[in-house]
Amino acid sequence: VGVAVPGPLDHRDGVLHRVTGFPQWDGYPLRAALAERTGLPVVLDKDTNAAALALALGGAGGGDFAYLHLGTGLGAGLVLGGEV
């Protein structure tokens, strides 16, 4: 299961931090909770990294590029050498 999440993310532990507009999610172990509920492996990443990956895989990125998102905050995904 792949999940794109907004806000700061502890990639190692799969825990969300300071999600804008959702203070109740601060410190929530989303990866572990989803894996337990579904019985499937779960991968979490930032929404901006997921968007950059989609552009790279779809060929729209054109090599090395930065994906910038301006919303309630500023986020970015960077693709260099074909890797996010």
**Tokens 């990443």 found at:** 45
Tokens standing for residue 10: 């502890």
**In 3-state terms, what secondary structure has residue 71?**
coil
* Per-residue confidence (pLDDT) for residue 38, from 0 to 100: 96
As a whole number, mean pLDDT of residues 52-59 equals 86
Distance CA 2, CA 59 (A): 20
Mean pLDDT, the chain, whole residue set: 88
Which pLDDT band, with edges at 50, 70 and 90, does 57 fall under? confident
Band of residue 35 on the pLDDT scale cut at 50, 70, 90? very high
Name, of 10-14, 38-42, 52-56, 74-78, the range with top average pLDDT.
Answer: 38-42
Q: What dihedral angle (degrees, nearest 10) is formed by the CA atoms of 5, 42, 33, 4?
A: 10
Q: Within 13 Å, how many C-alpha atoms sit on residue 66's CB side?
A: 6
Query: In whole angstroms, what is the distance from residue 6 CA to residue 47 CA?
Result: 5
In the prediction, which pLDDT does 61 show? 65
Answer whether 66's CB lies under 8 Å from 77's CB.
yes
